[in-house]
Structure 1
Amino acid sequence: MTTTMPAPETTVTPPVPRRRLIRFGGVQLMHLYTWLIIGWLILPILVMILFGFNNPSGRYNQTWQGFTLKWYGQLFALEDLTSALILSLVIAIAASVISAALGTGIGYALGRHRFRGAGGMNLIMFATMSSPELVMGASLLTLFVSLGVGLGPLTITIAHVMFSISFVATVVRARVLTLDRSLEEAAADLGANAWTTFWKVTFPIILPAVFSGFMLAFALSVDDFVVTNFTAGTSVTFPLWIWGATRVGLPPQVNVMGTLIFAAGVLIAVLTSIRSRPRRQTG
């Protein structure tokens, strides 16, 4: 009797669907597009950093003529530029602190409570953020002149607070909307009043959002030119000084100061990112 052995089964690999190939190519294309955009955005910053090491023959830094580190040692050699930078930093700190204090309260109220006028408040905030700076600067100038307020550092600070509050409130409101209310309810069950609950429970949770709003307000204040130009009077901030110096050429100290400000911002962002990472529990 002859026994017929069954033929071994052969595994046939199905062809890769065409959709998967197209999908894979689309992902790679998006990665390439993203890196191109990042490179385009960071290119002016790299040029600024590079020209901070330039060694021009004259005072102004227009063409590359050699490598040097001397401008980091002569960072504060130009007194008017140093004064403009100090004024910008002082105004930015004051405006950021005031904006963070006021914007945190507004953002918390809009994110936690439902009250009459909340929709109008949201509309005003987004209108402030989306309105052209030219319109805001001209309107604030008209307001200060009508009230007889002399233009100077005080009016610049008020103007910067006016457009920074909305950004802080929006960031804080977004965090409050995702806040777990059971934590506050637990604090209330343990006998804490509303004020104690806010400072002991709520505020530490929303503190990263408050800090983010503070840093955003600080960056907007240091960078602002249009509104500051309307409300500065005879005061000269860092952006106004740079605008005036572009008519003849920028000294290398401007690039050095810009590089240091950028490096400080990157350092703060990295430290904040590291601190916000979830900690591993060891047991």
Structure 2
Amino acid sequence: MAPLATPARWLRRHLVVIAGLGTLGYLLLPNVVVTVFSFNKPNGRFNYQWQHFSTDAWTHPCGVADLCGSLSLSLRIAVWATLGATALGTAIAFALARHRFRARSSVSTLIFLPMAMPEVVMAASLATLFLNMGISFGFWTILIAHITFCLSFVVTAVKARVMSMDPRLEQAAQDLYASPLQTFLRVTLPIAAPGIAAGALLSFALSFDDFIITNFNAGSSVTFPMYVWGAAQRGTPVQINVIGTAMFATAVLCVLAGQLVGRRRKRS
């Protein structure tokens, strides 16, 4: 019985780790498929079966018409939406966490509604608002819509960080004759920076990846997710896999860089 008991005991001890690794592998499997097929050279229009190994798509990522144009539009919208949502969300988070005012609970509820509301409802509501105001659909309507639905995610991340801060640190800075601006820049902002960075990264990912809200408010503009959706009906070009692989690798490198910086700070 002893030889059989040892493997069973080892399995019980490492069951959580095995389940976690299996779940992680399942989540990363689509990214692996995208990476592999970015080196494929299909015989027809559809890049769904492996044919020949080739790096043509990597050497000419803009070889498909309007692909890089839609990618550039998505990146510009994501950057501006991240900046706008992060600035507004940080201010709202500090106001909700630090100040007491009338209708504070109602404001908190309204801020978090976009997270619970189905995207198609929010998209149709924003489109109706723009139509009633006579605003032409395009870059600005997409940007306003993206800031609107990214705002609640920034507020959630920053507010959680601000509420966990020790107010005695700011009081100590004031006791040392620091002005309110100096206290905010040298004490409050560095402590809240991880929450602000998390909200900004989440906003960028949500804005770049959004399709439903963008489709309702884009007009004739075509973002990268809209381009992928349209291209999938006619045949997915290999360059889409190339861009997807590059974005995934960039995200992984950013996470690894953040982890290394955090470890160095802890050691120091």
| Overall identity of the aligned pairs, in % | 44
Match of 2:237 in 1: 251
Work out which of the residue numbers 197, 208, 229 in structure 2 matches 1:222: 208
Work out which of the residue numbers 54, 70, 74 in structure 1 matches 2:56: 70
1:170-218, Cα deviation, whole Å (9 max, x unpaired): 1011111111211111121122232331122211221122111111100
> Residue 45 of structure 2 contacts residue 234 of structure 2 at CA under 8 Å; is this kept in 1?
no
Q: Does 1:280 align with 2:261?
A: no
Match of 1:3 in 2: none
> Residue 127 of structure 2 contacts residue 216 of structure 2 at CA under 8 Å; is this kept in 1?
yes
Q: Does 1:200 align with 2:200?
A: no
Q: Which amino acid aligns with 1:164?
A: C
> Residue 62 of structure 1 contacts residue 249 of structure 1 at CA under 8 Å; is this kept in 2?
no
Match of 1:12 in 2: none
- Please state whether the residue corresponding to 2:159 is helix, strand or coil: helix
**Which structure has the larger Rg?**
1
Greater share of helix residues, 1 or 2? 2
Match of 2:114 in 1: 128
Which stretch of structure 1 is more off in the superposition, 272-281 or 237-246?
Answer: 272-281
> Residue 164 of structure 1 contacts residue 220 of structure 1 at CA under 8 Å; is this kept in 2?
yes
Tell me, in whole angstroms, the C-alpha distance in 1 between the residues paired with 2:9 and 2:207. 43
Q: Does 1:263 align with 2:249?
A: yes
Q: Does 1:140 align with 2:155?
A: no
Tell me, in whole angstroms, the C-alpha distance in 2 between the residues paired with 1:255 and 1:149. 35
Q: Which amino acid aligns with 1:260?
A: A
Alignment of 1:1-283 (within 5 A): 25-277=11-263, 278-281=265-268
Using the size of structure 1 for normalisation, the TM-score is 0.88
1:104-126, Cα deviation, whole Å (9 max, x unpaired): 11112222223322211221222
Tell me, in whole angstroms, the C-alpha distance in 2 between the residues paired with 1:189 and 1:82. 54
1:74-112, Cα deviation, whole Å (9 max, x unpaired): 111123011000000000000000001001111122222
Q: Which amino acid aligns with 1:102?
A: L
Aligned length: 262
RMSD across aligned positions (CA): 1.9
Q: Which amino acid aligns with 2:146?
A: H
